[in-house]
Amino acid sequence: MGSGIGSGYGLAKRPGFIHRVAAMNINSQALDAVNRCVIEELERAGEELSPRTTHNWCGLFTEHVRRVEAAIVHTYQLVAHSAIRQESPAEAAKLWREMSTYCDFALQKLKGLKDQFPDCGTPELYDLVLDYKNAADERYYQNVHDSECLKTPPPDHLFPKTS
């Protein structure tokens, strides 16, 4: 078996497969539902493992932490990929706002869990999500600014008149 994306399924050998997958539009509602489910699973695991009576409770909880981390990183990559392909900065800003909202949701759920499970990677995940939220907010505001700049006409006499 070769290595690379989809090599285990022979997908990498299909011409154009990866390009078609990369060109797909994000269905933000489906993505949001899946991502929120991953975070809610983490929260449920925190409730179930709270008494810490389960053998390997931290290892079990850490698996959920890793899933949330993967969801955050992957979603950010998808949003970045899609945002740069938007026709207008205003449309890109909407995507970054959704990413920021998703990070807010994760931070809300992680706030208590990071203190409850400090040795299972939760504080580090909280910090990572906060970094992604800040990056998404920065890109949101930059795209809003770019969108406003597009509406501003250039000042008179900026460019020489052509005859």
Residues of the chain scoring pLDDT < 50: 1-24
pLDDT tens digits for range 135-160? 999 999 999 999 998 888 878 887 78
Which are the contacts of 150, defined by CB distance < 8 A and separation ≥ 6? 88, 89
pLDDT at position 3 is 41
What integer pLDDT is reported at residue 96 of this predicted model? 96
Listed by start position, the domains of the chain span: 26-149
